[in-house]
Structure 1
Amino acid sequence: MARLILNGKAARRFALRSAISNCRKEGFSLDVRITHSAEDAAHFAEQAGQDGIERVIAGGGDGTVHQVVNGLMRVPAKQRPTLGILPLGTANDLARSLSLPMSSYRALIAALTLSARPIDIPSMDNRYFINMATGGFGAEITSSTPKSLKRLLGGGAYSLIGALRAWQYRPYPGRLEWENGEHDGNLFVLAMGNGISAGGGLRLTPDAKLDDGLLDVLAVRDVASLRDMWGMRRELQSRPQKGTYVETFRSAWLSFESDETMPLTLDGEPCWKDGFKVKMNPLALSLVAPLHSPLIKARHVATSSSA
């Protein structure tokens, strides 16, 4: 049996209800739980593990997937259900990066039938994320974009808010450390990718893989002038390992300390911290994904398909 944990805001969509009905008519055993608050998704996911459910499907946007992952990670590894994704959000960054279908019926069939592959799950202190954590200006934009604008413009809402606020940012001072390096000074953007994109399709860590045991990190240092901004944009195109403004690296862990709080998002979910440590939990969760998904490095299969 599979359990669909469905964001309550999407539950009344006709196409979705039709997809669920058709899948049941085709013989799939599908139990549905509808959330009424963010905490419900994590609770339902944890309960699924306790109930012996083999496959949990997160029906919603990146935030719903995030909450479901946190619930699944509370389940002991041997009992932890496989995760499938039914993308119903505004950006659906992870689902799009995985090359999952976007129509409700095709996505639900994929979540029910495709094989699963073991992937890494990063954690920031006591919270898990599956796709990406961002800090600084990028996180500020994601957390401040009104939900009504997200619905109206889709992923383009993030670009619009970013353009409006580009010269109103403030730098975030602190000490960044990782496996083979460190940085003291101001940060403009920090992206820690298990996946490749955030904020409605911004490819911040385009070479990341979900199963390589490493975070792909993009650190953009403070820019003080329009000339610096243009230099930063050029470096973002070439993504140097150690440029004047941009630095990229891979590491199994990363820490940040500051005297000030920094805005952060974990899979788009906002928080504020003046210090944190991120580490990888290698191959901690099985994720339903197409065989040739660009985010999957290895080709081994974690579990068989479920009907």
Structure 2
Amino acid sequence: MTDSKKRYLLIVNGKSAGEPALREAVGAARKKGGEIVVRVTWEGGDGAEFAEKAAEEGITHVIAAGGDGTVNEVVNGLMRVPHDRRPALGIVPMGSANDFATSVGLPLEPGPALAAALEYDAYPIDVVRMTAGSADDTATSYYVNMTTGGFGAEITSTTPKMLKRMLGGGAYSLMGALKAWRHQSYRGTLHWQEREQSESLLLLALGNGRQSGGGQVLAPRAKLDDGRLDVLLVKDFSSVWELPTLISELQHFPAEGRYVRYFTAPRLTVTTRGEDEPWPLTLDGEARRFDRFCVEVVPLALSVLLPPGCSLLSANDPP
């Protein structure tokens, strides 16, 4: 029996609203006494607005039913609510990639995922704040999983949605293979802690979670509650003969490799010069382009419904 003090708001991506398994799961939960309000998104911004208003309506838990983009939108709405009134977040993964849900071990079918969300405990995790834009205009947004920049973001943003749905994570790998022969690097100056470094990068990954792009593990040692970003830098290469070294380093994520560098930091800033192209970025599946951006960890800002023993929580590390 669901705790009567809990009130759930299920925010469903409009494209998934007709999913029979989800409808059946909601009906089954209500028969058991679960108090679930359902709202369906119609256009961009709806999910954030529903989540932001949830606390005013006495909602204790907001469940996002959709892909990584839907989760991201709901997270941004929740982060507009004062911390002491912020509802917990649950996830019913219904997208093509579902990177965050997969990495934390959530059920991937709508029925089991909703049932689990109604039973799981909430654990506090970090949220990453991004301030980005141009010299004339900046905006702030949040994410819980990962931002990728450069080549990796291009792959995600240009993979056709139909191909994503047909192939899932395989669509990203296919598009990556096609683009590898005419890749483009991006220049920028990176600032973190007391360091400054100008680089021409093929890929930048800023992980709170571990994977992006439909199953590509880019931050294998990331934790959701350690107060730090896991940063992956992949430098550009000039010859196809250098690819074996780059690929080998990507299998081990060295702290200071020839092409790959992996480290942690609570905050990182990237700036470009006037002649440099804006960086393509994806924030939890949403594609954007920026001249400059800063990411920083907001420690333990959001409670999330996670399975017991989730490997991305520091508290579950082996002694």
Structure 1 length as normaliser, TM-score?
A: 0.96
1:50 Cα offset (Å): 2.2
1:291 Cα offset (Å): 1.6
Q: CA-to-partner distance for each residue in 1:244-285, whole Å, 9 max, x for gaps?
A: 100000000000011220100000101101111100000000
Q: How does 1:1-307 map to 2 (within 5 A)?
A: 1-125=7-131, 126-259=140-273, 260-298=277-315
Q: CA-to-partner distance for each residue in 1:131-185, whole Å, 9 max, x for gaps?
A: 0000000000000000010111111000001111112121101101112533212
- Displaced runs of 4 or more, over 6 A: none
Distance 1:233 1:298 in 2: 32
Distance 1:219 1:180 in 2: 17
Q: CA-to-partner distance for each residue in 1:93-149, whole Å, 9 max, x for gaps?
A: 111111111121211011112100000000111110110000000000000000010
Find the residue that maps to 1:239 and give its secondary structure.
Answer: coil
CA RMSD of aligned residues (A): 0.9
Gaps of 5+ in 1: 300-307
Distance 1:201 1:184 in 2: 29
Distance 2:283 2:77 in 1: 15
Which amino acid counterpart does residue 47 of structure 1 have in structure 2? K
Which amino acid counterpart does residue 220 of structure 1 have in structure 2? V
Distance 1:157 1:67 in 2: 23
Q: Is the Cα contact below 8 Å between 1:209 and 1:295 reproduced in 2?
A: yes
1:51 Cα offset (Å): 1.8
Which amino acid counterpart does residue 27 of structure 2 have in structure 1? S
Which amino acid counterpart does residue 270 of structure 1 have in structure 2? A
Distance 2:194 2:249 in 1: 21
Which amino acid counterpart does residue 290 of structure 2 have in structure 1? K
Identity of matched residues, %? 52
Which amino acid counterpart does residue 4 of structure 1 have in structure 2? L
Find the residue that maps to 1:290 and give its secondary structure.
Answer: coil
Q: Is the Cα contact below 8 Å between 1:52 and 1:79 reproduced in 2?
A: no
Find the residue that maps to 1:298 and give its secondary structure.
Answer: helix
Q: CA-to-partner distance for each residue in 1:56-99, whole Å, 9 max, x for gaps?
A: 00000100000000000000111100000011111111111111
1:52 Cα offset (Å): 2.4
Gaps of 5+ in 2: 1-6, 132-139
Indicate the larger mover: 65-74 or 102-111. Answer: 102-111
Distance 1:239 1:155 in 2: 21
Which amino acid counterpart does residue 265 of structure 1 have in structure 2? T
Q: Is the Cα contact below 8 Å between 1:42 and 1:67 reproduced in 2?
A: yes
Q: Is the Cα contact below 8 Å between 1:63 and 1:267 reproduced in 2?
A: yes
Aligned to 1:305: none
Structure 2 length as normaliser, TM-score?
A: 0.92
Distance 1:46 1:229 in 2: 46
Which amino acid counterpart does residue 107 of structure 1 have in structure 2? A
Distance 1:206 1:37 in 2: 34
Structure having greater relative contact order (Cα 8 Å, sep ≥ 6): 1
Which amino acid counterpart does residue 160 of structure 1 have in structure 2? L
Which amino acid counterpart does residue 291 of structure 2 have in structure 1? D
Q: Is the Cα contact below 8 Å between 1:50 and 1:75 reproduced in 2?
A: no
